[in-house]
Structure 1
């Protein structure tokens, strides 16, 4: 059953689809996918080509736009847009600490979650495409992890694509997670250095907060244990266009005077809790490193192991040496499953996934080299989350792909500069620039 309704300037239609959990076993267990169709009000009755938005993450539902926000307004000038809640996210069949125990123990839960990577998401798209387009190919817009999905789409089902648009999401075709993080930590360090150059007062503020956390080990109102390592992970903000400013404003309101002395302010703790909790997107923590996994080599908590190769990120060392505390970024560590109450029941499941050695290949280099689908990718020169060198190497490996390399935007360029970014990528796929 579909339901249609209106917002300013748009008509929305909610769709629900049933797909196999394992597309290789179509008669087996099924799950539900939710997707929201959006069309401009004045074009609601027109036969328009489709554009499917593949959200970043993994583990996040599609954007909940109001009207024609961000890139959506530009897309609606010529497309009927599908905002897909990828499996396990949003209104699709959920996968979290409340529902995963229905699967059984940690091993069974890990087996289930192995079906929540780009390969399954693309097969979901191909399962629902004929139901919406009558079999016609559609355009995909892949942001970040959504770009990983788009490259897998080009590898396995290019016949389903009219064009592919990728923003900050060209993955390495063959890098292990270790290679990804060895490239990431120096980029993160540069972002932190740039933040401290802009806001030098934050050097001392960050140290004071870290020292307070060491002494007091606070527990936030939702049960989150705010350790120094968790505090460092607020560096994930530095990957966005306004992230450095957001981090600065957060740090400057960290402390309040009380009869017992300085304490972390309620406002600071509340904002930190919202930034650090995985309650709304646990799949991000569970399958993040698995997004890079191919073949028999386990990820084995890659970000944690590789971090040891960069001692400058060690908080205890920084505090002992009177040096600046370095923030970290988009990485998942085993301690998350101790600090975050939304993840604690899933620690053993995460361990199972980290040890897994039967990952399928995600990309087909030969098929990508022979690609004939129009593809354009925005590569952000200073991207903290996705290595630009890895992205450019992949761009050269995909036939006909055109790149737009820019340092005008950070990783969230499609959000903050959406109409311009989308317009540029569409023009590239049409040889208009």
Structure 2
């Protein structure tokens, strides 16, 4: 397996052949890739392992360059394994290019039903046994959706865990997809209002862009359509530490003078496409609502919950905002059916996504009884007004997990793990070990 040296680190590749469905180990196989990172000079030190679970769903693990970001802190104590969760990165991909080989949309939907936290945890356990042996235990760091996976891990395979750190990712154990979005829209509105308070000139600039998009067809460089609703989806940026500022700079460069009047600049359209396209992580869109499905909680389908619930929040109606000369509100981490028409990376997956949205047979992901008797040390950073994960849900889950210690902070946004360097991880390590 390839081994590389980067500044201050040694990096090694690992690939594992695993079942698509762990209940059928002799059935179709997939590959799962992981990157091992250890501090230079510590290769033979017998350091304990830290498994990193990325946010998403559908996000590949970080691509490190030396001891960057939180890795610098982690490598003091651990040998780190950066997992490309199934379907992402260098693991067997699940995209518009690869899924047709699986079969028709119904076959694709069945295939993709194995790409939730329960299957990811089973992958982790197979990898753990391979690298550490049957009785070996490792620590887990879960960011955002990775924290959801870590909570499933605590529910279903705690025997493999030494300790768990969660950043912005304690899920609602009993929250349906509809519950999630009904709580999300008010948070998204608050982030909008904070943005317009910070950059008041953006209110008129955004109205101008939306009027322009209502009056004409606008194509993105990659062939997708930029509609007013798609433009509103840029609000997903508002939940990160620098997202409001980045959005402001994008908005201020929107127009250039054209021969027939103002038109949206090429640079603006490229930047918008980079933010909105799902080409790099189609599973994020396809699996975003199925990750909340739990049969015992809500026997019905998720059925495009974000789209259905949006109608109960008329303040997000762009046309009404224009008519009232009010600020147009951006949406956030919400997935809508029209995305599978507008985005060329998603359009071939539209039928499979619809079948997943109507699927009713989802196994439960969390075991409240097991969590109530948990013996694994757990520490979680809960961000005070996290746009992506409901703070109330996170705190309720923290109370439901025996021994879990929380750090509630408004110092960081949802990306605090990355933005803080090693500060967030350092605090969680000390919390879990009783040093704070």
Q: SS in structure 2 opposite 1:183?
A: helix
Deviations 1:118-159 (A, max 9, x none): 000000000010211123100000000000000000000000
Whole-Å Cα distance in 2 between the matches of residues 407 and 306 of structure 1? Answer: 27
Deviation, structure 1 residue 404: 0.2
Within the candidate set 339, 353, 360, 2:356 is matched to: 353
What residue is the counterpart of 1:319 in the other structure? 322
What residue is the counterpart of 1:189 in the other structure? 189
What residue is the counterpart of 1:173 in the other structure? 173
Deviation, structure 1 residue 78: 1.2
Whole-Å Cα distance in 1 between the matches of residues 294 and 222 of structure 2? Answer: 36
- Give the alignment's TM-score, normalised by structure 2: 0.98
Whole-Å Cα distance in 1 between the matches of residues 43 and 102 of structure 2? Answer: 41
Within the candidate set 400, 403, 406, 1:400 is matched to: 403
Q: Please, which moves more after superposition, 271-280 or 315-324?
A: 315-324
State how many pairs are aligned: 432
Within the candidate set 371, 388, 397, 1:385 is matched to: 388
Aligned positions of 1:28-427 closer than 5 A: 28-135=27-134, 136-295=136-295, 296-427=299-430
Deviation, structure 1 residue 355: 0.2
Whole-Å Cα distance in 2 between the matches of residues 5 and 323 of structure 1? Answer: 54
Q: SS in structure 1 opposite 2:389?
A: coil
- Give the alignment's TM-score, normalised by structure 1: 0.99
Q: SS in structure 2 opposite 1:6?
A: strand
Deviation, structure 1 residue 65: 1.1
Whole-Å Cα distance in 1 between the matches of residues 227 and 258 of structure 2? Answer: 22
Q: SS in structure 1 opposite 2:256?
A: strand
Q: SS in structure 2 opposite 1:95?
A: coil
Whole-Å Cα distance in 2 between the matches of residues 72 and 214 of structure 1? Answer: 45
Q: SS in structure 2 opposite 1:77?
A: helix
Whole-Å Cα distance in 1 between the matches of residues 379 and 171 of structure 2? Answer: 14
Q: SS in structure 2 opposite 1:349?
A: helix
Q: SS in structure 2 opposite 1:42?
A: coil
Whole-Å Cα distance in 2 between the matches of residues 98 and 243 of structure 1? Answer: 31
Alignment RMSD: 0.6
Q: SS in structure 1 opposite 2:139?
A: strand
Q: Where do 5+ consecutive residues of structure 1 fail to align? A: none
Q: SS in structure 2 opposite 1:141?
A: strand
Deviation, structure 1 residue 3: 1.2
Deviations 1:391-422 (A, max 9, x none): 00000000000000000000000010131101
Whole-Å Cα distance in 2 between the matches of residues 134 and 352 of structure 1? Answer: 39
Deviation, structure 1 residue 300: 0.2
Whole-Å Cα distance in 2 between the matches of residues 104 and 126 of structure 1? Answer: 29
